[in-house]
């Protein structure tokens, strides 16, 4: 077997390791009760369904607002609005949760609460993706309909929906799959009424040490998400660089609703900060753990960043290979709880081990997202260069070092930086793998759980500092390696 | 002559079906045909980017089809040129020499020679992303030749250029091929390429060579 194939199989093994490990360690002796399984599955399904539905409705509205800005200097506004749309998706969920918990008081815990949080997190991403699809797929038709005097309603009914229904369905499934497997949000706002499959797995292991049932639940959940992801295979995009006139579809109210939601989110967060600063004296008791946990977050964030950077480069080194690409495209990260418990029961959890296990588990969980966020596209765009280098006689190592690395290092570092920011704001993985608060995010979650929202919000400000530091460390790493390689 | 045998490939709705085909050992063989006739598929099969079973390509007693892609020692220019955008023109050209482990002194000699023939003095140290279409094309050809290839393969190399530049490019390529004395396979749909460059024309239609014509 060639060394490259060996690396491919090693990466594949790493990604499916939690399943293999747990299935080999625990015999399935008893099944969870049907009523309990049905109840958790129903909750997961309902919250994911409503989250996807509302994200799609809100996202479509905002997308029609985004396409108001397509030409000339207006494109700059479009860029700013798109960044605004993506903020809730790229920031750790902790920030969205703090904002909405501060703003909506009393907050409806349970399925409604999970749906609100997931919708706020995902609608912007849907809007950005849909705006691109509209421009590329029906831009020309929109111009033609506009010239021929069609009304907006007529166009929406007779062109927009019939042509884009498949894309809308795919977007729905995409958000559905993400929300179905979500752990961080239901853990905080699920409450007793909204226990999802993911939370039930967590409770089965953490509270009743019932590994056998937890493994069954995790397998059922993974199979279901995998099935949904198979349905949600991406369609082929039609790319058009021409600026199109989408006057027939434009809705400025879409921008209005985006700005309104963002303003509410910001106000909620600001309200929490003000309230937290009023209780500033209470922070004295947290002074010592705060400093240690700041370094803990930095350590976890940087380690996750480096692991993500390395993993993305390993994928690039193994590129292209048809079966490898197919595996990565179809791969769904295992359940957060399942993955973390696999690491938990492996070896010791004392001393520095959580600082190794948390980044490894986090890397395993977020690699699929990073890959689909655009790493696959980056590598595909370089296939022509790889082919020509190969035909010119270059060996794999030369192609990687001289052709790929200088061009992808910065982008890999950017993705790794995003993963580092996510890791800084993570509390769900750490909560399973560490017995005490090791990071600022865990401290923040502890404060949230004890209803000290103001203090939690103030503490989350330090998470931003930590995230920014980790992000720029990764950008620096990317630049250094990018330059050294060539 | 180098001999291509059993070049078959089924793409489902389209087939490449070439039982036997001769490519000149000297001068330019042009594979000419309309869009969708299978030219690029043949090109990719010859280069080795796509596999075909039982395919043979006998060149000076070597079966190139049995060799791995890097070992075939081909010089290739794709329609899209595919220059490495982060490198200078010079680094692009030397890349192939380095890949084939040609001693650096020899590689620089070749670089100087190609620079002169292809008139690249003015932009050799510039990053390729800032070069014009014509300049980029010359770099791609120099890169293909710097690795001391057995055969030069060109896939629609003039398609991205405007008419005026095409004429100039054809003349340059003709000159460099004559000077280097390297057997060349040119894939094109443009009759003007055939008129200016071809020593032999093979016409392809629906994946089959339907006519072979030597041009005196």
Whether A281 and chain B come into contact, CB under 8 Å, resolves to no
pLDDT of residue B180: 85
**B79: which chain A residues are within 8 Å (Cβ-Cβ)?**
none
pLDDT of residue A203: 87
Neighbour-count burial of B197, counting CB atoms closer than 10 A to its CB (0-12 exposed, 13-18 middle, 19+ buried): buried
Closest residue in chain A to residue B144, using alpha carbons only: A392
CB nearest to A384's CB, from B70, B73, B78: B78
pLDDT of residue A485: 60
Average pLDDT over residues B72-101: 91
Average pLDDT over residues A3-7: 91
Question: How many contacts does A have with B, using Cβ atoms within 8 A?
Answer: 62
Whether B49 and chain A come into contact, CB under 8 Å, resolves to yes
Whether A112 and chain B come into contact, CB under 8 Å, resolves to no
Interface touch A392/B99, C-beta < 8 Å: yes
Whether B99 and chain A come into contact, CB under 8 Å, resolves to yes
**Chain A: nearest CA to B106, how far in angstroms?**
17
Neighbouring C-beta atoms of residue B130, cutoff 10 Å: 12
The answer to whether residue A77 scores a pLDDT higher than 50 is yes
The helix (H) or strand (E) run that includes residue B4 is: strand B2-10
Which structure tokens are listed for A225?
Answer: 């998400």
Interface touch B76/A391, C-beta < 8 Å: yes
Q: How far apart are CA A333 and CA A229, in angstroms?
A: 11
Interface touch B95/A486, C-beta < 8 Å: no
pLDDT of residue A483: 81
pLDDT of residue B38: 92
First to last CA, chain B: 16
Q: What are phi and psi of B47, to 5 degrees?
A: -65, -30
Nearest partner of B88 among B117, B114, B120, B118, judged by Cα: B120
Nearest partner of A54 among A95, A97, A114, A12, judged by Cα: A114
DSSP calls for B11-71: -SS-EEEEEEEEE-SSSEEEEE--TTSSHHHHHHHHHTSS--TT-EEEETTEEGGGS-GGG
Q: How far apart are CA A203 and CA A37, in angstroms?
A: 13
Interface touch B86/A407, C-beta < 8 Å: yes
In this structure, of A101-110, A242-251, A457-466, B162-171, the range with the lowest mean pLDDT score is: A242-251
pLDDT of residue B204: 95
Percent of chain A with pLDDT over 70: 97
Residue A464 pLDDT grade (very low, low, confident, very high; cuts 50, 70, 90):
very high
Q: What are phi and psi of B182, to 5 degrees?
A: -115, 130
**A403: which chain B residues are within 8 Å (Cβ-Cβ)?**
84, 95
pLDDT of residue A122: 95
Whether A388 and chain B come into contact, CB under 8 Å, resolves to yes
Nearest partner of B209 among B1, B4, B57, B2, judged by Cα: B4
Whether A398 and chain B come into contact, CB under 8 Å, resolves to yes
Count the helix, strand and coil residues of chain A and give each as a percent rounded to the nearest 5. Answer: 80, 0, 20
Q: What are phi and psi of B18, to 5 degrees?
A: -125, 100
The answer to whether residue A239 scores a pLDDT higher than 60 is no
What's the pTM?
A: 0.83
Q: Helix, strand, or coil here: B72?
A: helix
Positions of E strands within A53-138? none
Closest residue in chain A to residue B82, using alpha carbons only: A385
Find where tokens 């015999």 sit: A27
Q: What is the pLDDT of residues A140-191, one digit of tens each?
A: 888 888 887 788 888 898 889 999 999 999 999 989 988 998 999 999 998 8
ipTM above 0.85, yes or no: no
Q: Please, are residues B140 and B157 in contact by the beta-carbon 8 Å criterion? A: yes
Whether B129 and chain A come into contact, CB under 8 Å, resolves to no
Q: What is the pLDDT of residues A472-486, one digit of tens each?
A: 999 999 999 988 665
Residues 6+ apart with CB under 8 A from A393: B70, B71, B73, B96, B99, B100, B147
Average pLDDT over residues B15-34: 93
**A406: which chain B residues are within 8 Å (Cβ-Cβ)?**
86
Which structure tokens are listed for A283?
Answer: 């922070």
Interface touch A387/B75, C-beta < 8 Å: no
Whether A484 and chain B come into contact, CB under 8 Å, resolves to no
Q: How far apart are CA A136 and CA A164, in angstroms?
A: 11
Residues 6+ apart with CB under 8 A from A453: A98, A101, A102, A272, A275, A276, A447
pLDDT of residue A237: 47
Nearest partner of B124 among B152, B87, B154, B96, judged by Cα: B87
Whether B136 and chain A come into contact, CB under 8 Å, resolves to no
Suggest the residue from A2, A320, A387, A392 to mutate for an interface test with chain B (most B CBs closer than 10 A): A392
CB nearest to A388's CB, from B48, B82, B85: B82
Exposure string over A343-357, b if 16+ CB within 10 A, otherwise e: bbeeeeeeeeebbeb
Average pLDDT over residues A81-103: 93
**Chain A: nearest CA to B92, how far in angstroms?**
10
CB nearest to B73's CB, from A393, A398, A406: A393
Nearest partner of A172 among A44, A330, A326, A60, judged by Cα: A60
Neighbour-count burial of A205, counting CB atoms closer than 10 A to its CB (0-12 exposed, 13-18 middle, 19+ buried): buried
In this structure, of A25-29, A105-109, A236-240, A404-408, the range with the lowest mean pLDDT score is: A236-240
């Amino acid at each position: 077997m060639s060394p490259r194939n060996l690396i491919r199989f090693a990466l594949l093994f790493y990604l499916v390791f939690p399943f293999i490990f747990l299935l080999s360690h625990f015999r399935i002796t008893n099944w969870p009760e049907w009523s309990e399984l049905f109840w958790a599955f129903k909750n997961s399904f309902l919250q994911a369904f409503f989250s996807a539905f509302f994200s799609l409705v809100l996202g479509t509205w905002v997308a029609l607002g985004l396409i108001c800005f397509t030409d000339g200097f207006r494109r700059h506004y479009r860029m700013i609005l798109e960044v605004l749309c993506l903020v809730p998706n790229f920031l750790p969920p902790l920030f969205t949760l703090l904002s909405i918990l501060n703003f909506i008081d009393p907050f409806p815990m349970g399925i409604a609460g999970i749906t609100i949080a997931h919708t706020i997190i995902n609608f912007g991403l849907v809007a950005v993706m849909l705006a691109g699809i509209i421009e590329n797929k029906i831009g020309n038709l929109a111009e033609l309909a506009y010239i021929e005097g069609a009304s907006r309603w007529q166009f929406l009914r007779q062109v927009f929906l019939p042509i884009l229904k498949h894309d809308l369905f795919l977007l729905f499934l995409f958000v559905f799959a993400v929300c179905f497997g979500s752990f961080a949000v239901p853990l905080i706002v699920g409450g007793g009424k909204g226990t999802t499959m993911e939370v039930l797995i967590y409770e089965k292991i953490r509270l009743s040490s019932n590994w056998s049932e937890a493994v069954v639940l995790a397998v059922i959940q993974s199979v279901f998400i995998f099935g949904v992801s198979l349905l949600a295979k991406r369609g082929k995009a039609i790319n058009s660089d021409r600026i199109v006139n989408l006057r027939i579809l434009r809705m400025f109210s879409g921008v209005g609703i985006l700005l309104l939601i963002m303003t509410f989110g910001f106000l909620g967060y600001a309200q929490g900060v003000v309230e937290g600063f009023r209780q500033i004296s209470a922070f004295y008791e947290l002074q010592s753990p705060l400093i240690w946990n700041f370094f803990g977050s930095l350590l976890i964030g940087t380690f996750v960043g480096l692991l993500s950077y390395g993993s993305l480069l390993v994928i690039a080194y193994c590129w292209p290979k048809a079966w490898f690409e197919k595996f990565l495209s179809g791969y769904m990260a295992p359940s957060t709880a399942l993955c973390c418990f696999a690491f938990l029961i492996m070896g010791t959890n004392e001393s520095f081990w959580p600082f190794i296990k948390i980044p490894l588990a986090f890397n395993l969980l977020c690699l699929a997202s990073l890959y689909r966020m655009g790493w696959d596209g980056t590598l595909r765009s370089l296939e022509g260069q790889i082919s020509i280098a190969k035909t010119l006689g270059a060996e794999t190592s030369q192609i990687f070092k001289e052709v790929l690395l200088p061009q992808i290092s910065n982008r890999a570092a950017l993705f790794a930086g995003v993963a580092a920011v996510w890791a800084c704001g993570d509390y769900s993985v750490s909560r399973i793998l560490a017995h005490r608060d090791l990071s600022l995010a865990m401290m923040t979650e502890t404060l949230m759980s004890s209803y000290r929202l103001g203090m939690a919000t103030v503490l989350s400000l330090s998470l931003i500092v930590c995230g920014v530091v980790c992000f720029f460390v990764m950008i620096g790493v990317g630049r250094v390696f990018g330059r050294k390689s060539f | 002559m180098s001999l291509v045998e059993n070049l078959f490939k089924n793409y489902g709705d389209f087939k490449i079906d070439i039982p036997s085909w001769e490519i000149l050992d000297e001068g330019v063989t042009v594979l000419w045909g309309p869009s969708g006739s299978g030219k690029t598929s043949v090109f990719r099969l010859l280069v080795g980017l796509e596999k075909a079973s039982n395919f043979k390509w006998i060149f000076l007693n070597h079966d190139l089809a049995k060799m791995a892609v890097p070992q075939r020692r081909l010089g290739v220019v794709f329609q899209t040129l595919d220059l490495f955008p982060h490198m200078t023109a010079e680094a692009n050209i030397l890349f192939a020499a380095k890949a084939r482990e040609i001693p650096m002194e020899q590689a620089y000699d070749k670089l100087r020679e190609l620079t002169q023939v292809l008139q690249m003095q003015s932009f050799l140290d510039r990053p390729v992303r800032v070069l014009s279409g014509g300049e980029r094309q010359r770099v791609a050809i120099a890169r293909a030749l710097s690795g001391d290839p057995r055969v030069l393969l060109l896939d629609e190399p003039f398609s991205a250029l405007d008419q005026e530049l095409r004429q100039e490019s054809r003349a340059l390529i003709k000159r460099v091929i004559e000077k280097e004395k390297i057997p060349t396979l040119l894939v094109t749909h443009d009759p003007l390429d055939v008129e200016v460059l071809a020593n032999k024309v093979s016409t392809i239609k629906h994946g089959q060579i339907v006519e072979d014509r030597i041009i005196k």
